Amino acid sequence: MPDETETTVESTTTETPGEVTTTEVETTEPTPIVRDFLEDDGTFKDGWADVLTPEDFRNAGDKIAYGAVGSVKDALKQLAHQNRLIQKQGKGVMPLGETPTPTEVEIYRRAMGIPDDPEGYNVQVPEGMADYYDADGFKETVAALHGANLTPAQVKAVMDIDVKRLKDGIEAQKTADAAARQETETVLKELWGDKFDTNLLLANRVIAENVADEDKEAVLAIIGNDVRVAALFAKLGEAFLEDTAVNTDGERVSGLSGEIDRLEATPGFADGTLKRTNRKEHDRIVARLATLYARKYPEPAATT
C-alpha cells in the first residue's frame, strides 16, 4: 500500500535589519487516498479494492464480493443487505460452536430468548400424567434440554412429542389388555361351562376379602389376563367358603349358604325382573338353588 501521507514544502521569509532570510519548511499531511479512487458521482475507480481494503481481506473470496460493489451506494446497500440476512438467521447471533465460551453462550441465550436456568422454561408435567412421569427424572430431562441451549419453543416441541409417545403407548397397552381379558374369558367359559359365573364370583370374593385395596386392581388385571391364575383363585374360593359346620351328610353348610345367598342376591332375581329379561339365566339360578337346598337340607334316611 502506498504511503498514506504527502509532503509539502512551505517557504518562510524572515527580515532582520540589513538582512532578508528565506527558510523552507517541510510539512506532512494525510493523503486523501479515498478521494483518489472515487469519481465525482461516487463510483469507484479501477483498483480501489487492492488499495483501500485491509490486507487480511484481500483473498480470492473477498475479491469476488468486491466485484459486486461499484460505488459508495453499492457498498452501503451490500452492507445493509448482509445485516438483514444475519438478523433473519439468528437475531444477529451466529450458532454456537462445539466449544463456546461462557460469554458466547450468555449472548446467544439472551438473543434467542433462552432462560438463565431450566425453571425459566416453565414446563410442567401434563395434567393427568403424573403417574407416568418421575418428578426427578422430568427435571433432569428439562435441565438437559437447557444444557443443549434449546429455545422455549424447541423445548415445548420436544415435550409435546414425548407426551404423545407416552399416551400412544398407554392406549396400546389398554387395547392389548382388553384383548387378553376377552381371550381369557372365552377360554374360562369353555373350561367352566355353567360354573363360569359362580367361579368368577368366588375368585373375586377371595380378592375382595384377602387382598389389600391398593393391590386389588393389579391382582384383578392378572386374573383377567391369565387363565391359570383365574382357575387358581376360583379353587381357593371354594376352599375359602368351607368351615366347620356340616349337614347330616357331612357336607359343610356355610359354603352352601354363602352360595345360596349370592345367587338369591343376583340383581333382578328376587323381584322377577331377571325372569323377564333373561329367562335362561333365571332358570339356571333356580336349578342351582334347588341343588344347593337339597344338599344343605338332605332328606332324612328312611327307617325300616
Pairing relation of β-strands 19-30 and 5-16? Answer: antiparallel
- For residue 2 the three cell numbers come to 502506498
The predicted structure's pLDDT at residue 10: 57
Rounded to 10 deg, the angle between the 196-210 and 152-192 helix axes is: 130
Amino acid sitting at position 4 = E
Distance CA 60, CA 129 (A): 59
Task: Give every CB contact of residue 26 below 8 A, 6+ residues apart in sequence.
Answer: 7, 8, 9, 10
CA neighbor of 258 nearest in space, from 273, 239, 275 = 239
Count each helix (H run) and each strand (E run) in the chain, helices first. Answer: 13, 2
Using CB atoms within 10 Å of the CB of residue 143, give its burial: 0 to 12 exposed, 13 to 18 middle, 19+ buried.
middle
Segment (H or E) for 13 = strand 5-16
Using CB atoms within 10 Å of the CB of residue 161, give its burial: 0 to 12 exposed, 13 to 18 middle, 19+ buried.
exposed
Based on its alpha-carbon atoms, the radius of gyration of the chain, rounded to whole angstroms, reads 48
Q: Can you give the pLDDT of all 304 residues of the chain as single tens digits?
A: 444 455 555 555 555 566 655 555 565 555 546 677 778 887 878 877 777 777 767 776 666 667 777 787 877 877 777 666 655 555 556 677 888 888 788 878 888 889 999 999 998 888 888 888 888 888 999 999 999 999 999 999 999 999 999 999 999 988 988 888 888 788 878 877 887 787 777 777 777 777 788 887 887 777 767 778 777 777 776 665 554 334 444 445 556 677 888 888 888 888 888 888 998 998 998 888 888 877 766 665 455 4
- Tracing cell 436456568 back to the chain, one arrives at 117
**SS3 of residue 264 by DSSP:** helix
